A and B are shown apart, each in its own frame.
Chain A
C-alpha cells in the first residue's frame, strides 16, 4: 500500500514537472510575423524609439540630451525587486549588436531572448506585441545607429520564486496579450483616434503605468479600468487616471493633452513630475500630429472612475 502511494506521488510529481516544462516553453514569433531582414529604415525608427520610451529605462538615470542615446542600461527599483534593464546599445559583446532582426522582434513582441530565456515583463512586451512588424524593423535599424556602450549588464536578481525565469512562461499563458486593440474602434472613428490607439496601446505602452494590475501587481493589466490610474510602482502616490472621467482628465481638451506632452505643463501650469518627466521628454520628440493623435485617443476611450482614492495619503 505504502509502496503504491509512493509510486503514485512520484508519478504525480513527474507529471507536474513535465506539465510545467511544456507549459513554460518560450513561444517565438512565426516567421511571417517578422519583417524581411534589411527592410528596416533607421530614419523612420527614430520616431518609434521616442514613442517607445526606450531611453527612459535603458539610458542612465537622469541622462539628458544626447546622453539619452547611450543605452547601456540601468537598474529599475520596484516592489518586486531590482530589475536590470540591460544594455541595448549596438555593442557586439555587451549590447544587441549581434542580434538578428528576428532575435530583436522576439524580445520585443514575445519576451524571449536569443538564448530562449523568458524576459521579465518589466520590459513591456505585452504592449509591444501590438506593434507592426515594420515598426519593429525600423526601430531595430535605428538602434544599430546609436553609440555602442561596452558595459556589461548584470543579471537581474530577484527573490524566490520570481527568480525562476521559466515561471514567466506560466505568467505569459494568461497575460501575454495579443495584437487586438484594447479599446475597439467605434463606427466613424477619426484617423487620429486610430493612430493614437496604435501609439498609446502599442509602442507608447502608457497602460503599463496608468492601468492597475491584478494579483497585487503581479497579474496582467485590468482592461476594464483601462488607463484609469494605478498605484505608483516607485512608492508614495498614484499614477493618474488619464481617462475622460471627472476623476481623470475630463476637463482637459485634446489640445491641452497635446500641449502637456509637448511642454510638460498642465492647463493650470502645474508641471509634469516624477517618472512622467522622462516620458514627456520622449513625447516632445514626436510630431504635432502624433501628439494630437494620442490626445484624440485619450478623449475617445471609456471614462472610468479612479478605483481607490485616498489610500496613499494618511
Chain B
C-alpha cells in the first residue's frame, strides 16, 4: 500500500514536471547533425584548397550541395522550446536578437547556395567560393554559439 502511494506520488511529480522540462530534443539533434556534417565537409574541402587532395570538381560540387541543403533547413530548427537541452550550444542570442540571427542564416544559405550552383571547375575558382562559405562559420559562431566545455 505504502508502495502504491509512493508510486502514485512519483507519477504525479513526473506528470507535473514534464511540461516544464518539455524540450524539443529532435530539432536540437537535427541541427547538431547538420553542423557535424558541415565540419566533415569543411575538412574534406580544406584538403582540396590546400592542394593536399587532387582537385575533384564533382566531389566538391557534391560537398557544397550538401552544405547548401543543410543550410536551407537550418533556420527552421530553432523553435522556442529548443533553447536548452541535448547539450545544445545555441546561444540565447538566437532568440534575443532575431533580426541579426535571420541575417546570419540568410547569408549562410546564400553563400552555400551560390557555391553549390557555381560547380567550380578549377581549384582557383573553388578557393574563392570556399573562402566565402567558410567566412560564415566564425562570424555566426561569434554571436550565436556558446561552448559548453
Q: Which residues of A contact B (CB under 8 A)?
A: 229, 232, 235-241, 247, 264-265, 268-274, 277-278, 306, 309, 312-314
Shortest Cβ distance from A268 into B: residue: B39
- On whether the beta carbons of A312 and B148 are closer than 8 Å, the reply is yes
Residues of B at under 8 Å CB distance from A? 35, 38-40, 42-43, 46, 84-85, 87-89, 91-92, 137-138, 141-142, 145-149
The total of interchain contacts (Cβ-Cβ below 8 angstroms) comes to 68
Interface CB pairs A-B, < 8 A, 24: A235-B92, A235-B146, A236-B91, A236-B92, A236-B146, A238-B147, A238-B149, A240-B147, A240-B149, A247-B149, A265-B42, A265-B137, A268-B39, A269-B42, A272-B138, A272-B142, A274-B141, A277-B138, A277-B141, A306-B149, A309-B149, A312-B148, A313-B87, A314-B84
Minimal Cβ-Cβ distance residue in B for A237: B146
When the two chains form the complex, which single residue of A237, A269, A270 contacts B148, counting CB atoms closer than 8 Å? Answer: A237
Distance between Cα atoms of A308 and B9 in the complex (Å): 32
Q: Are B149's CB and A229's CB within 8 A?
A: yes
**Distance, CA A309 to CA B146, complexed state (A):** 15
For B40, the chain A residues whose CB sits under 8 A away are 269
Contact with A313, one of B88, B138, B145 (Cβ below 8 angstroms): B88
Interface centre among B35, B85, B92, B145 (most CB of A within 10 A): B145
Given contacts A273-B141, A274-B146, A313-B148, contact A237 B84 (CB under 8 A): no
Measured CA separation A269–B147 after assembly (Å): 15
Q: Which of B39, B43, B89, B146 has the most CB of A within 10 A?
A: B146
Contact between B92 and A277, CB atoms less than 8 A apart: no
Could you tell me if B138 and A239 are in contact, using CB atoms closer than 8 angstroms? no
Q: Which residues of B contact A274 (CB under 8 A)?
A: 91, 141-142, 145-147
Please determine whether A237 and B89 come into contact, CB atoms closer than 8 angstroms.
yes
The docked-state distance in angstroms from the alpha carbon of A294 to that of B23 is 41
How far does the Cβ of B112 sit from chain A's closest Cβ, in whole Å? 15
Which residue on A lies nearest to B46, using beta carbons?
Answer: A269
With A238-B149, A309-B149: A273-B142 Cβ-Cβ less than 8 Å? yes
Residues of A near B147 (CB, < 8 A) are 232, 237-240, 273-274
A273 touches B149 (CB 8 A): no
- Other A-B contacts than A236-B92, A270-B39, A272-B142, 15 sampled, CB-CB below 8 A, are A232-B146, A235-B92, A236-B146, A237-B146, A240-B147, A241-B149, A265-B46, A269-B40, A269-B43, A273-B145, A274-B141, A274-B146, A309-B149, A313-B148, A314-B84
Q: How far is the CA of A155 from the CA of B70 in the complex (A)?
A: 47
B87 neighbours in A (Cβ, 8 Å):
313
Beta-carbon contact of A313 and B85 below 8 Å: yes
Q: How far is the CB of B28 from chain A (nearest CB, A)?
A: 11
Complex: A53 Cα to B26 Cα, angstroms:
40
